[in-house]
Structure 1
Amino acid sequence: MTYLVGYGPRNDDRSAIELAAQFARAHPAPVVAVAVVPRGWGTPAAAGTDREYEEWAASEGQSTAELARADFARHPGLVGDAIWTPGRSVPATLLEQADERDASMIVVGSAAEADPGRVRLTSKTDRLVHSSTLPVAIAPRGYRTTSSVTRVTVGFRDDDASWSLLTRVAELVREVGARLRVVTFIVTPAAPVTNSVTHAQTQVIELWSMQATAALREAEEYLRSLDLGVDLEFHVAAGVDWPAAVAAAGWEDGDVLVVGSSSTHRLAQVFLGSSASKILRSSPVPVVIVPGARAD
């Protein structure tokens, strides 16, 4: 078992290694940082130029690996290593490395454009998420913590994918000894300034809340039947928009949010539905995206 970190060349944000170290504190395993540098084309007509390009890429890879090792040094006791490897596709190369190293999770950072403390996918991590058969953990921009993983929150929609996710996360939580919280997020649009909430709107909101509460009761019965030996929490978090709903759940250091696939189609291991994408962008804590079971 290994935590594999996608570490960009000359990375200016060590949040991915920070998050991997947090997972390793909760469930000890080696951490390997992988820097993927551009691969030369190897065409005879451009042999000299291509050689210079490969030398430049190798220098970038070595420098990046040294930066990653310096990041590891900030975490005494962490078993970590850093390598660099050429590749024409960063997502594909990371997946190859994960397979070779029997990785249990791929850990990446957020885009440089992300607001501090927020999660945002890059185009490369978006492709990685949608092609990975492993969970992909995404650290908020500038993420720092000295905590272990103390509470895992599952975004629960009461569909087949959510129930499958609940079972997988329950097994993980039992291993790390964290608390498990199951949350259903509900968006309840605010009424226009010039108008009050209609009776029909109120009824719809109340119905959503009742359905969510009933589903959480079923989830609670199921999880308690597993006798996990961990603390369980269940919560409906509502707000006028997704950021407000996510914030309403309440967050603390040591929290990790888990969202799952909204599709089990065999051609897409992970398909982030609109709600999962909005929850991800609103999360103030690391997010783990778990692929759904592949259909035959």
Structure 2
Amino acid sequence: MRYVVGITMDKRGRDAVSLALTLAQSTLTSHPVELDLVHVIRGVPPEQAVSKPEREFQKLCLEEAQQWMAKTHDLIPKTIHSTTSVHFSDSMATGLIDKATERPCDLIVVGAASHGPLRRFTVGSVANALLHSSPVSVALAPSGYLPPSRLTRLTCALGMRPGAEVALNVATQSSVLHDVPLRLISLIAFDARSGAAETTDAASDHAKKLLVRASQSVDNATEVMVDVAHGRSIESAIDTLTWDEGEIVLIGSNRLARRQSIFLGTTANKMLRSLPVPMVVVPRFPAPESTADDDISI
């Protein structure tokens, strides 16, 4: 497995490394993870610059980035295979996608915007671009994320519209890979005029069907549970749930997403700004070069 980790010279880079390590250290020994630490410099390499001032500036940026990457690399335990690289591109998001698509990649990991509140998300321009265009899954670490001693649970948020099957497949395979329980959640937002009871009953029935399917998929390899949360908004529904320090949430892409691409929908955006734990968004359909036979995990 391979994770591309977006490294910035601020706390977002540290948050991304923390999340990448949390995931990498919890995988089974039969599926070791390679961390590809990538820093992106906007523009062209020094040798391609058209003027001397630009060449000197890009060279200075490259030297500074290389020093930072060397320090970051020292944070990675020797037991995890890792590499560092500095990539020149029009934007960080484009550069990370370029590196992710060079060869098979399972996940791009980035930090939330550096001005976000502690342990909450504020989506910056880089994360926003990735969450609307990446061909591989994207993991986003909340601001100030501290790696837990171990990953304790994987939660998968599922709606009742077509397309949830991909997220469920990734969630079941990933829970077995990381040897953690899987929780399936259905979030319901309603107002006083809506048919709250009918909506809740329909969501509960749907969740129970998914529970049976997920339980069959993991074949007793791990525990599977289900929660249906409701409130006047998605945010209030999320607040009714309990969250572990070592938990990660996985969601699928909006049904409007292009095939083999991520597109973050309205509900997922609301979730993103309310969650106190990391979130992983998977493409609408798994990219064929990631793994074979739709066997995809994070």
TM superposition score normalised by structure 2: 0.86
Partner of 1:185: 187
C-alpha change, 1:268 and 1:114, in structure 2 (3 Å) is farther
C-alpha change, 1:122 and 1:216, in structure 2 (3 Å) is same
Correspondence 1:229 to 2:233:
no
| CA contact 1:170–1:228 (8 Å) conserved in 2 | no
Structure 1 segment 87-98 matched on structure 2, within 5 A: 87-98=89-100
2:114 to 107, 112, 116: 112
Partner of 1:193: none
What is the Cα deviation at residue 217 of structure 1?
Answer: 1.2
Partner of 1:131: 133
Question: 1 CA distance for matches of 2:179 and 2:87?
Answer: 35
Structure 1 segment 139-154 matched on structure 2, within 5 A: 139-154=141-156
What is the Cα deviation at residue 56 of structure 1?
Answer: 1.6
Correspondence 1:49 to 2:45:
no
| CA contact 1:139–1:287 (8 Å) conserved in 2 | yes
What is the Cα deviation at residue 11 of structure 1?
Answer: 2.0
Q: CA RMSD in A?
A: 2.4
What is the Cα deviation at residue 177 of structure 1?
Answer: 1.3
Counterpart of 2:197 in structure 1: which amino acid? E
What is the Cα deviation at residue 51 of structure 1?
Answer: 1.5
What is the Cα deviation at residue 250 of structure 1?
Answer: 0.7
1:205 to 196, 206, 231: 196
Bigger CA radius of gyration:
1
| CA contact 1:265–1:294 (8 Å) conserved in 2 | no
What is the Cα deviation at residue 139 of structure 1?
Answer: 0.2
| CA contact 1:138–1:287 (8 Å) conserved in 2 | yes
1:65 to 48, 64, 69: 69
Counterpart of 1:252 in structure 2: which amino acid? D
Correspondence 1:219 to 2:219:
no
Question: 2 CA distance for matches of 1:225 and 1:126?
Answer: 35
What is the Cα deviation at residue 173 of structure 1?
Answer: 1.5
C-alpha change, 1:273 and 1:111, in structure 2 (3 Å) is same
| CA contact 1:111–1:122 (8 Å) conserved in 2 | yes
Task: Report the secondary structure of 2:33's partner residue.
Answer: coil
Partner of 1:4: 4
What is the Cα deviation at residue 101 of structure 1?
Answer: 4.4
What is the Cα deviation at residue 208 of structure 1?
Answer: 1.2
Question: 1 CA distance for matches of 2:141 and 2:258?
Answer: 27
Partner of 1:276: 268
Partner of 1:17: 17
Task: Please state which structure has a larger fraction of its residues in helix.
Answer: 1
Question: 2 CA distance for matches of 1:12 and 1:44?
Answer: 30
Question: 2 CA distance for matches of 1:261 and 1:45?
Answer: 38
Partner of 1:192: none
Question: 2 CA distance for matches of 1:160 and 1:124?
Answer: 28
Question: 2 CA distance for matches of 1:45 and 1:30?
Answer: 32
Equivalent pairs counted in the alignment come to: 281
1:246 to 238, 248, 251: 238
| Structure 1 gap ranges (5+) | 190-196
TM superposition score normalised by structure 1: 0.87
What is the Cα deviation at residue 228 of structure 1?
Answer: 4.5
What is the Cα deviation at residue 131 of structure 1?
Answer: 1.5
Counterpart of 1:257 in structure 2: which amino acid? V
Question: 2 CA distance for matches of 1:23 and 1:174?
Answer: 13
Partner of 1:194: none
Partner of 1:33: 37
What is the Cα deviation at residue 71 of structure 1?
Answer: 3.2
What is the Cα deviation at residue 44 of structure 1?
Answer: 9.4
Task: Report the secondary structure of 2:132's partner residue.
Answer: helix
Question: 1 CA distance for matches of 2:103 and 2:75?
Answer: 21
Counterpart of 2:118 in structure 1: which amino acid? P
C-alpha change, 1:245 and 1:44, in structure 2 (3 Å) is closer
| CA contact 2:120–2:143 (8 Å) conserved in 1 | yes
C-alpha change, 1:34 and 1:44, in structure 2 (3 Å) is closer
Q: Deviations over 1:211-260 (max 9, x none)?
A: 11010111122122322421011011122333321121210121100111
